[in-house]
Structure 1
Amino acid sequence: MLRASCGLTQQQVADRTGVSVSYISKVENDRLHFGDYPSEKFIHKLAGELEADEDELLLLADKVPASIRKRIRQRPELFRKLAKLDRKSLDAVESSLNRAKP
């Protein structure tokens, strides 16, 4: 668990992010109810406190990071094609992208 690996208690995270301990517990134990899911603002604060990748936390919370959302809007047809690829094809695309890094 990321929080524990940072040496923080639920109380410390709750205090630093402005939510209740029970909310932190619900998030950690995947016991949130509809409408209780973390906001992007909360995830931003949490990423800062845990020194975690904000985009990864957003994706874990089923929220699309703004930078990715922007790209999807620019090229929706490309993302539809990517979504339909099988694992082997996605691995090939990723390998190609890794070789083409600027």
Structure 2
Amino acid sequence: MTTFGERIRKLRQAKGWTLRQLAPEVGVGFTYLSKVENERLDTGHYPSEALIHRLADALGADEDELLLLANKVPEAIRRRICEHPDIFRTIAQLDDTSLQQIVASASKHDNVVF
């Protein structure tokens, strides 16, 4: 599985940017971005949701993907979990095969694309 830092590095490199070019775009120092990319941050210094939003904008990335890679729950998902905690508690206990069956069933009945 790709880490948050690895994904940021790949996105940055795909744009042809150096750390020094990206840093001012998102309002942090290039040494901090280097630590992010190399997963060398001290506890409590992991990127904030605001920085992740700026990174997503600057890099043309999916913000929800970046938030999830940073172990943060996107607001839309958080809101749905809070609206239906029992459902999500049940889903969390399912094995992968059962989850895949639910997704396949939902896709057939509601024209949902996953």
1:1-102 matched pairs, under 5 angstroms: 1-99=10-108, 100-101=110-111
State the match for 2:4 in structure 1: none
Which amino acid is the alignment partner of residue 78 of structure 1? I
Question: Could you tell me the percent identity over the aligned residues?
Answer: 51
Partners in 2 of 1:21 and 1:81 — Cα distance?
42
C-alpha separation in 1, matches of 2:49 and 2:87 = 25
Residues 34-84 of structure 1 show CA distances to partners (whole Å, capped at 9, x for unaligned) of: 111111110000000110000000001111000000000000111111111
Please give the alpha-carbon distance, in whole angstroms, between the structure 1 residues aligned to 2:48 and 2:31: 16
TM-score in terms of structure 2 length: 0.84
Q: Give the total of aligned pairs.
A: 102
Q: Which runs of 5+ in 1 are unaligned?
A: none
Provide the rounded CA distance (Å) in 1 between the counterparts of 2:105 and 2:60. Answer: 30
RMSD over equivalenced CA pairs, Å: 1.1
Q: What secondary structure does 1:19 align onto? A: coil
More contact order relative to length (CA 8 Å, sep ≥ 6): 2
Where in structure 2 are there 5+ consecutive unaligned residues? 1-9
The structural deviation recorded for 1:33 is 1.0
Runs of 4+ in 1 over 2 A off after TM superposition: 96-99
